[in-house]
Amino acid sequence: MKKLELQFLTEEGKTATFSVDEPIEPANPETVVAVMDEVLEQDVFESKTGKIVAKKGARIVERIVTEIDIDME
């Protein structure tokens, strides 16, 4: 499963990450920046380390899980 992670800096200089499941690909950098700007403008999110105050980055993260068949007697 892939996720789009939007990373922001908080008032304490820490990173707060918001994830979006199954993002549209390829990701459009201009759209990502516009969404992040809107999140900052709305000023409705707060993390454990304070309000978000700036954009830090964005990335697509893919997690691949492969089950291992084990004998469970």
Residue range of the domain that includes 33: 2-62
pLDDT in tens, 16-73: 999 999 999 999 999 999 999 999 999 988 889 999 999 999 999 999 989 999 988 7
Give this prediction's pTM.
0.83
Structural domain count, the chain = 1
* 69 is a domain residue: no
Is 68 within the bounds of a domain?
A: no
- What pLDDT is recorded for position 14? 96
Measure the CA–CA gap between 24 and 9, rounded to whole angstroms.
Answer: 24
In a domain, 67, yes or no: no
- Classify residue 49: in a domain, yes or no: yes
Does 70 map to a domain? no
Q: Using one digit for the tens of pLDDT, what is the confidence trace for 9-18?
A: 999 999 999 9
